[in-house]
Amino acid sequence: VRARIAPEVDVEDPVDWEQFRGTIHKMYHGTSLTAAREIEIKGFTPSSGGELGPGVYFVDEHNIDKAKRFAHDCFRRTRGKSSAMGDNEPALLECEVKVERHHKASEPDREGKWRSRGFDACCADKTAASTSSEWCVAEPRRIRVVKVHDLRGTPCPWGKFCPYTTKTKVANSPWGGVCPCASLKPAPPPPPPVCLQAGCGKPTWNGRPNEYCSRQCRAKALAPDPPAPTTNWEAAWSTKHDRWYYQDRVAGESSWSKPSGVTWELPSAPPDGLKGQSGDTLPPGWESQWDMKHKRVYYFNRQSMERTWTRPKSSS
């Protein structure tokens, strides 16, 4: 029941598990709650060694208490080592494993030679390290975590022979202190991961992070942004009222107040060139307007549709 937490890699797509052929076996893996939560998200990384060679180690449903005992002893077993745990929090990973071909070992195979013979997993009724059966799975992608069980607040898997309180065959028992299963309350479950779609807030469809709650939310999130609305409004100067106004020459509309869809404001001062010049009055039919692109005034004759940057002069 040994595994290392996977490094920072992308989470395996659940579709990969679906693509594997084989019989689905319910298997269990004992560890700490912190490690179990990380494995649930990042997946397993095979142990580098063991009685059946490199791989991810499990027990089947008939030996579930073996996995619970392994989790129960994790905190004490790793104390003083680099893998020491900060909290005494035993947990059980309930998994589904797809196995197409498995090897039944009758003796130790620490090199894992069965892997080179095309087997997906290896099982043994007992090993040199244990009198009960265990499994070793070669490919982590054949494993799918179904549930994490917090063992705190549940009956001790050792029963009345808990090594924390009783002298047993377990090394250095009794260890002293409190049995983590029998005395500590289970931690509250973490909040379920929510949909990636902004503002949705619903749980993801498969309980995994970085997913959506439905195909509809996924389609919304991945849809391209709508095109920005176009507008033909521009600023124009009224020589009659001595003030700016909004004008849409394409639609033939004008407005003193900001039209819908316009994000810019009218200039606060009169345009240069309209005041302080000789002959402020424009010739009949001419009016001044503001070019937002070039940031300058131009002149427009509605009758002839003529435009010019130069201020027209009245004929004497």
Q: How far apart are CA 236 and CA 242, in angstroms?
A: 11
Please state the rounded mean pLDDT for residues 5-33. 71
Position 280 pLDDT exceeds 80: no
Q: Is the pLDDT at 189 greater than 70, yes or no?
A: yes
> Phi then psi for 208, rounded to 5 degrees?
-100, 150
Residue 1 has pLDDT above 80, yes or no: no
Amino acid at 39: I
DSSP state of 95: E
- To the question of pTM greater than 0.85 for the whole model, the response is no
SS3 label, residue 175: coil
Residue ranges with strand state E in 61-173:
90-99, 102-104, 121-124, 134-137, 143-150
What string of H, E and C letters represents the secondary structure of 245-286? EEEECCCCEEECCCCCCCCCCCCCCCCCCCCCCCCCCCCCCE
Rounded CA separation 93/59 (Å)? 11
Average pLDDT over residues 52-81: 91
Please tell me the CATH code under which domain 23-182 is placed.
3.90.228
How many Cβ atoms from other residues are within 10 Å of residue 307's Cβ? 11
What's residue 278's pLDDT?
Answer: 43
For the cut 50, the answer to whether the pLDDT of residue 14 exceeds it is no
For 268, other C-beta atoms within 10 Å of its C-beta total: 6
All structural domains of the chain with their residue ranges: 23-182, 189-224, 233-308
Q: Mean of the per-residue pLDDT values for the chain?
A: 83
